[in-house]
């Protein structure tokens, strides 16, 4: 009855421990699981691409407006120089005509001779020529030549030219604006209403640029008319820069036209970029949803690693995650099958013993069956304990605090502990440690888990070694890795067993050890721990010069951690 109760307790313990097994450990120490393809990529490529496309029209607009400002300055300067040249030509013509006729008489306010000269000088209605005598009185005005005697209408045509497109310009959002003083036209008979006339009466040339209604340019020049060394009068020339206005306006309109075209293109490209972002994200989301709902067997996440951007990196990460998930599920299935198989053996043995026990009369046979039952219960207890430890390993590895470990110092403590125990047991076996090169042996990980690995391998080595055998632990560094080699002087490994010994529940023990004393999980757990530290654990044999096996060899590789 006691054996049956123990069996039920063990089965309950097994049933509660199996579901908690999580397969392969994925911890902070597993820096590169090998499942993930490493690609060099620009982490901000998508940001730069989208931002760059949208910044193109803005940059073009700013650059165009800067060029427009420089072009406007150069154009105004050249037009002002041209007006100066034309004004000098007008003054020369006037001087010659007036000198010939000697007819610069201010007593005649409507000097017909000067008026006749103005008629032939320039027919440009955007240009106004006004001649003053030495006292500043108006002798002639080109705007009144064809309207003689109508002083009230003087200047009206010119003012109309200034305001003719005012209404249309009001609706022109992008019209040219000039930060210039307003043209000071107030009284057609007053010299102060004409820029620079007072300066020219003092014998100086005056050139200036003005604004009309804030959006039209007015060029003005005032030149003295000097005859026989004396100032006989002043010629004022004012010109509406309609050509300049139109040229600048056309250029500005072209800039904005190009801006809107490129803005439209950039927005279209942005929409295209958005579609190239959202479409693959939808594909990834759909594949993830399919996996979540279990609609497909081992559904693959789309491979977008060739994109070289954040979405490609996300695809790689998801593929690695899904691959690890399927591996974990397969491992759980395999583990459950292995546990079922391993537990059936002692349970079958116990059942046979229990079924046979009522029919056995000999006390010796009964005791033998009871011993079998006790051994099977002990074996089951060991199996369940090791299975429980294996099932909790993932969670424990994830909770372990990673730290920098001096493997050399850690192995010294392990070797001393074993030698002390061997001496206390009066065994002649020895554990020896050798550090090749005395190089730094710092790694990142969990010291408790690494000690568990070292203990598993050293315990195995001691169990196979002769009574006076030596267990050698050799530490050496190569490039960025630390190698720990543990060798014994036992019979070695069969070639086909080099990988099998890392399988769960696989055992191959010396003859002097009783059956069922080991669960076969020690080396499997050890490899799992080392791989969680981004390392590797392999097994093989060591040979002498005659190629004869002289013992087993286990090699642990761990990545070094460099401390500045």
Q: How big is the chain by its Cα radius of gyration, in Å? A: 51
Q: Six-digit token pair at 50?
A: 């989208």
CA 530, CA 170: separation in Å to the nearest integer? 79
Instruction: Please name the residue that has the structure tokens 């590169």.
Output: 32
DSSP code string of 133-154? ETTS-EEEEGGGGGGTT-GGGT
Model confidence pLDDT, tens digit, residues 88-120: 888 888 777 766 655 554 445 435 556 666 766
| Residue 12 pLDDT exceeds 50 | no
CA 66, CA 61: separation in Å to the nearest integer? 9
Q: Say if residues 117 and 149 touch (Cβ distance below 8 Å).
A: no
Q: Six-digit token pair at 187?
A: 């009284």
pTM: 0.48
CA 128, CA 112: separation in Å to the nearest integer? 18
What are the beta bridge partners of residue 461? none
| Residue 233 pLDDT exceeds 50 | yes
Summarize the confidence of residues 259-270 as an average pLDDT. 79
Reported as a pLDDT band with limits 50, 70 and 90, residue 414 is very high
What is the average pLDDT score of the chain?
Answer: 75
The number of CA neighbours under 13 Å toward the Cβ of 205 is 10
Summarize the confidence of residues 535-548 as an average pLDDT. 89
Residues of the chain with pLDDT > 70: what percent?
71
Contacts for 273 with CB less than 8 Å, ≥ 6 apart: 49, 50, 53
- Which pLDDT value is given to residue 475? 92
- Which pLDDT value is given to residue 121? 59
Q: How would you label 435-469 residue by residue, b for 16+ Cβ within 10 Å and e otherwise? A: beeeeebbbbbbbebbbbbbebbbebbbebbeeeb
Q: How many CB atoms lie within 10 A of CB 519?
A: 21
| Residue 219 pLDDT exceeds 90 | no
Domains of the chain, each with CATH number or no CATH: 1-34+322-383 (1.10.287), 50-253 (3.30.450.20), 400-564 (3.30.565.10)
Comparing 117-121, 207-211, 242-246, which segment has the lowest mean pLDDT?
117-121
Helix 522-532 × helix 363-399 angle, to 10°: 0
CA 332, CA 21: separation in Å to the nearest integer? 7
Provide the pairing of β-strand 430-435 with 470-478: parallel
Which of 205, 198, 237 has the alpha carbon at shortest distance from 224?
A: 205
CA 362, CA 425: separation in Å to the nearest integer? 39
Contacts for 97 with CB less than 8 Å, ≥ 6 apart: 113, 117
What are the beta bridge partners of residue 472? 432, 487
| Residue 485 pLDDT exceeds 90 | yes
In angstroms, the Cα distances linking 22 to 26, 322, 393, 395, 525 are: 10, 15, 8, 8, 13
- Which pLDDT value is given to residue 538? 92
Summarize the confidence of residues 452-473 as an average pLDDT. 89
Reported as a pLDDT band with limits 50, 70 and 90, residue 208 is confident
3-state secondary structure of 219: strand
| Residue 213 pLDDT exceeds 80 | no
């Amino acid at each position: 009855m006691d054996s049956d109760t123990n069996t039920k307790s063990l089965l309950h313990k097994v049933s509660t421990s199996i579901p908690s097994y999580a397969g392969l450990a994925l911890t902070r120490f597993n820096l590169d699981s090998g499942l993930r393809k490493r690609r060099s990529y620009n982490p901000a490529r998508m940001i730069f691409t989208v931002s760059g496309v949208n910044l193109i029209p803005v940059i073009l607009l700013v650059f165009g407006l800067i060029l427009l400002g420089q072009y406007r300055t150069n154009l105004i300067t050249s037009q002002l120089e041209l007006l100066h040249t034309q004004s000098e030509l007008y003054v020369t013509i006037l001087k010659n005509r007036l000198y010939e006729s000697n007819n610069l008489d201010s007593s005649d306010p409507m000097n017909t001779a000067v008026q006749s000269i103005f008629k032939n000088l320039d027919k440009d209605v955007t240009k106004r020529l006004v001649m003053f005598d030495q006292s500043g009185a108006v002798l002639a005005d080109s705007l009144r030549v064809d309207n003689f005697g109508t002083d009230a209408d003087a200047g009206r045509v010119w003012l109309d030219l200034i305001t003719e497109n005012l209404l249309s310009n009001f609706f022109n959002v992008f019209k040219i604006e000039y930060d210039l003083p307003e043209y000071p036209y107030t009284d057609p008979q007053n010299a102060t209403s004409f820029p620079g006339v007072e300066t020219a009466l003092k014998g100086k040339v005056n050139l200036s640029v003005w604004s009309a209604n804030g959006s039209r340019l007015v060029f003005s020049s005032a030149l003295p008319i000097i005859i026989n060394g004396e100032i006989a009068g002043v010629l004022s020339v004012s010109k509406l820069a309609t050509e300049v206005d139109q040229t600048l306006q056309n250029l500005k309109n072209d800039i904005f036209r190009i801006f809107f075209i490129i803005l439209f293109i950039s927005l279209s490209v942005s929409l295209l970029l958005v579609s190239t972002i959202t479409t693959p994200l939808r594909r990834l989301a759909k594949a993830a949803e399919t996996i979540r709902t279990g609609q497909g067997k081992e559904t693959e996440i789309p491979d977008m690693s060739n994109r070289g951007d954040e979405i490609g990196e996300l695809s790689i990460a998801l593929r690695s995650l899904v691959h690890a998930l399927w591996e974990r599920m397969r491992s759980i299935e395999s583990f459950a099958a292995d546990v079922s198989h391993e537990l059936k053996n002692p349970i079958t043995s116990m059942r046979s013993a229990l079924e046979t026990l009522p029919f056995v009369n000999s006390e010796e046979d009964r005791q033998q069956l009871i011993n079998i039952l006790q051994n099977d219960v002990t074996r089951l207890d060991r199996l369940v304990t090791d299975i429980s430890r294996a099932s909790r390993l993932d969670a424990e590895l994830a909770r372990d605090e990673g730290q920098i470990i001096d493997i050399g110092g850690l192995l010294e403590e392990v070797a001393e502990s074993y030698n002390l125990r061997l001496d206390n047991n009066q065994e002649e076996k020895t554990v020896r440690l050798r550090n090749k090169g005395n190089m730094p042996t710092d790694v990142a990980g969990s010291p408790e888990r690494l000690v568990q690995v070292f203990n598993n391998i050293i315990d195995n080595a001691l169990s196979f070694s002769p009574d006076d055998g030596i267990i050698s632990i050799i530490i050496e560094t190569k490039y960025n890795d630390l190698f720990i080699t543990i060798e014994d002087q036992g019979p070695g490994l069969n070639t086909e067993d080099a990988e099998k010994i890392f399988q769960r529940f696989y055992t191959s023990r010396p003859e002097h050890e009783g059956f069922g004393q080991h669960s076969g999980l020690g080396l499997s757990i050890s490899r799992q721990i080392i791989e969680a530290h981004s390392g590797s654990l392999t097994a093989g044999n060591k040979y002498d010069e005659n190629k004869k096996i002289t013992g087993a060899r286990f090699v642990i590789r761990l990545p070094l951690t460099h401390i500045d």
